[in-house]
Amino acid sequence: MITAEMVGPPLLAVRGLRTEFATRRGVAVAVNDVSFDVAHGTTLGLVGESGSGKSVTCLSLLGLVAEPGRVVAGSICLEGDDLEGLSQREMRKVLGRRIATILQDPMSSLNPAFTIGEQIAEVLRIHHGMTGPALWKRVEEVLDKVRIPSARTRMREYPHAMSGGMRQRVVAAMAIACEPALLIADEPTTALDVTTQAAFLKLLRSLQRESGLGAIFVTHDFAVVARVCDSVAVMYAGRIVETGTTQEVLTTPRHPYTRALLDSVPKIEERLGRLRTIPGQPPALAGLDEGCAFRWRCSEAEPQCASIPPRRTASATQSALCWHG
């Protein structure tokens, strides 16, 4: 599936990914036949409501799905290397070195008992075997790169002494310390205020331009998508229901769910009134049939939506899993 204009082979190629969880109600398919590409130097936005499968998709890529969940099908290739066949020991060498992550809450990623310099240094020791003056010089360089002022002094501080925005920059410094090829950011700006969020997003784009870093950005915020993403994959009930360039998806959405999400965003030019919402709730994933999972909430639903919808192509980069797309 094409999600962005690419030159040469993709940095990351995911095909037919399926992740299941055994529950009392049956098997819940949290990630269902998910396929996408991420090109070098581009950002793919994974968008959808809570429970749509965004975070589980990322955990599946990282080999971090906890029991009772398990990846049961699909392939994950990073720069041509199949990650799905790696052992846990081999995967640990990939994480942090070739794939880095940034999570929502920086405090969950930082140990309050160690200085920020020690925590960045640990990443470099483990993955590059760095020691001595060269190690601390690299720590200072990385903090400078994420625009932390007085890096030599701040590296001796503990996380509690820094603001939320600065802590998130430290997490970003840990992520890029080993110069990974792929960054997975799971709603990294959720805990930040609007001004700090804008500054952090600007920093991420700057780091990406400097290093050619590929990224997956998980969010439910289309304003963030418009700011940082080159392409978008919209998820619902474990499936990718629409893909396309950011401009295509935001201006000419093809799936009713994408249109409903965009309609839920308040428009600055409209008079404030009752906010638009999507009726109903996302479906339970256990025992879900093969028809369109959104049909119970969709104003365009027809009898044929009870059967497997086709993936209709709107352009070389945009497609939707819908009878009407």
Continuous H helices in the chain: 54-62, 88-94, 106-109, 116-128, 132-145, 151-154, 164-176, 194-211, 222-228, 246-251, 256-263
CA distance 207 to 155: 20
The span from the first CA to the last CA of the chain, in angstroms, equals 16
The confidence score (pLDDT) of residue 278 equals: 87
Tokens 């009772």, residue located: 68
Whether residue 7 is contained in a domain is answered as no
User: Residues 231, 309: one domain?
Assistant: yes
Which of 179, 202, 231 marks a domain boundary? 179
Which of 148, 179, 210 marks a domain boundary? 179
User: Residues 75, 192: one domain?
Assistant: yes
Closest C-alpha among 52, 205, 7, 171 to residue 100? 171
Whether residue 134 is contained in a domain is answered as yes
Whether residue 198 is contained in a domain is answered as yes
Contact 71, 29 (CB under 8 A): no
Whether residue 2 is contained in a domain is answered as no
The confidence score (pLDDT) of residue 3 equals: 41
Using CA atoms of 66, 33, 103, 91 in order, give the dihedral in degrees to the nearest 10. Answer: 60
User: Residues 175, 187: one domain?
Assistant: no
DSSP character at residue 303: G
User: Residues 190, 312: one domain?
Assistant: yes
User: Residues 215, 311: one domain?
Assistant: yes
Using CA atoms of 48, 49, 51, 54 in order, give the dihedral in degrees to the nearest 10. Answer: 20
Rg (CA), the chain: 21
The confidence score (pLDDT) of residue 8 equals: 63
Closest C-alpha among 45, 3, 22 to residue 220? 45
DSSP character at residue 211: H
CA distance 98 to 106: 21
User: Residues 254, 115: one domain?
Assistant: no
Whether residue 194 is contained in a domain is answered as yes
The confidence score (pLDDT) of residue 209 equals: 84
The alpha carbon of 69 is separated from its chain's Cα centroid by a whole number of angstroms, namely 19
Whole-model pTM?
0.90
Which of 129, 157, 179 marks a domain boundary? 179
User: Residues 71, 119: one domain?
Assistant: no
User: Residues 282, 305: one domain?
Assistant: yes
CA distance 237 to 282: 7
Closest C-alpha among 234, 235, 238, 233 to residue 32? 238
CA distance 317 to 36: 11
Contact 148, 170 (CB under 8 A): yes
Three-state SS at 325: coil
Whether residue 4 is contained in a domain is answered as no
User: Residues 287, 227: one domain?
Assistant: yes
Sheet holding 99-102, edge to edge: 99-102, 182-186, 214-219, 43-47, 231-236, 239-245, 319-321, 311-313
Whole domain around residue 124: which residue ranges? 109-179
Number of folded domains that form the chain: 2
pLDDT (tens, 9 = 90+) of the chain, 325 residues, equals 434 444 468 999 999 999 999 988 889 999 999 999 999 999 999 999 988 999 999 999 999 998 899 999 999 999 989 998 788 888 888 988 899 998 777 777 899 999 999 999 999 999 999 999 999 999 999 999 999 999 999 999 999 999 888 998 999 999 999 999 999 999 888 878 888 888 889 988 888 888 889 999 999 888 899 999 999 999 999 999 999 999 999 999 999 999 999 988 877 766 666 778 888 888 889 888 888 999 999 988 899 999 989 999 999 999 999 998 6
The confidence score (pLDDT) of residue 325 equals: 64
User: Residues 316, 218: one domain?
Assistant: yes
CATH of the domain at 261: 3.40.50.300
Whether residue 230 is contained in a domain is answered as yes
Whether residue 298 is contained in a domain is answered as yes
CA distance 293 to 310: 13
User: Residues 213, 285: one domain?
Assistant: yes
User: Residues 168, 211: one domain?
Assistant: no
